[in-house]
Amino acid sequence: MDKASIWNTLVLAGCYLVLFALGELLYRVFKVKAEITRKIIHVGTGLLALLFPVLLDSHWLVLILCSTFALILIGSLRFGWLPSIHAIDRKSVGSLAYPVAVYGCYLAFQFNGYDYTYYYLPILVLAICDPLAALAGKRWPIGQYTLLGARKTLLGSTMFFVSALVLVSLYLSYMTSAYVLWQAVMSIALLATLAEAASKDGYDNISIPLSVVVGLLFSKYLWI
């Protein structure tokens, strides 16, 4: 690892601290609900994580960064800090699972020949489609159902599938040189939707990116 990557790690750490501070400002001063500030931080975390493959040249730096913030989040749960993330009326390990997912995606990126698709697409689906589905499902809880103990809504799952379908289609069409078949797009979007629907207590932060990686591998060997 070079000095530039180490410096970039410190800069990224500072950006994450600023993001957490913004969430606290919105929650404490502007009285924004924790469900909203949590989603804002969720999206911001994902967008910042998109810089990892560009700015960090070693998975060890990613591990250090993710582990540090996992420890901060564990400590904040223990001592009642960061209510902008934790002050929700349900059990969730999502904030702790997020760093695990980011590091896992970085490993997938490295193990697949430094193909950015294996990092960017899982992170984008997690950062964008998951919050959209959650907000839509809470705002309009239409068609409630339970899958493997996870309570979801048909509207939320539909929102996730449609947004994932659009996102995967656009990414594979414009960010890769491969000819994109509808089977590949559909299989990735469907796997991610099923992973989200069957996950509860925040574990979808791991199952969603994992399903996208599996979908990419499945599509690579069958259709792409």
Identity of the amino acid at 33:
K
Helix 94-111 / helix 59-79 crossing angle, nearest 10 deg: 170
Q: How many domains are contained in the chain?
A: 1
Please tell me the predicted confidence (pLDDT) of residue 92: 73
pLDDT digit string, tens, across residues 146-201: 998 888 999 999 999 999 999 999 998 887 655 567 888 999 999 999 999 999 88
Quick one: which H or E segment has residue 129?
Answer: none
Give residue 32's domain range: 3-222
Please tell me the predicted confidence (pLDDT) of residue 176: 66
Helix, coil or strand: residue 102:
helix
CA–CA distance, 92 with 61 (Å, rounded to integer): 27
| Residue 77, C-beta contacts closer than 8 angstroms, at least 6 positions apart | 86
Nearest to 34 by CA among 134, 160, 161: 134
Nearest to 40 by CA among 102, 125, 140, 131: 131
Check if the beta carbon of residue 79 is closer than 8 Å to that of residue 27: no
Please tell me the predicted confidence (pLDDT) of residue 219: 82
- Weakly modelled stretches of the chain, pLDDT under 50: 224
∠ CA 188-205-99 to the nearest 5 degrees?
120
